[in-house]
Amino acid sequence: MSSTSTSDAISDPLMAGALSLTENAAAKVQEIRTAESIEQTHALRVKVIGGGCSGFQYDLFFDEQVDGDYRFQSNEVDIVCDQMSFMYLMGTSIDYVEGLQGSGFKFVNPNTTGTCGCGSSFSV
């Protein structure tokens, strides 16, 4: 896959399930999209950024696909991820949970070696 063109992981059977949303997470993403009137041309961007108490943090936001992005579809939600972030996210499933300690997106990432108590940062 070339770094100068958009990579369509949807059509690559080796990438199936490489980055996914549970049904709960997909429903919440669609709810947010509707509530905030976000254009259908924008996908959910999943990104890893430096920082947090364990070294890296997850970031989710709606964005347009750009050259070099991987593109996935999970539970009818389009997902985009840059190549650098994908190195840390391959195989990750994103869930949406509600509980006594609050609600939010939960990342189940097989690549992490540790997470912090808040669950929003990780190390590899």
pLDDT 10s digits, 85-118: 999 899 999 999 998 878 899 999 888 876 555 5
Q: Nearest 10 degrees: CA dihedral of 107, 49, 83, 87?
A: -50
pLDDT 10s digits, 19-48: 999 999 999 999 999 999 999 999 999 999
CATH code matching the domain that covers 7-115, chosen among 3.10.250.10, 2.60.300.12, 3.20.20.70, 3.90.180.10: 2.60.300.12
Q: Supply φ then ψ for residue 55, to 5 degrees.
A: 115, -40
What are the domain boundaries of the chain? 7-115
- pTM, two decimals, is 0.79
Cβ proximity of 25 and 94 under 8 Å = yes
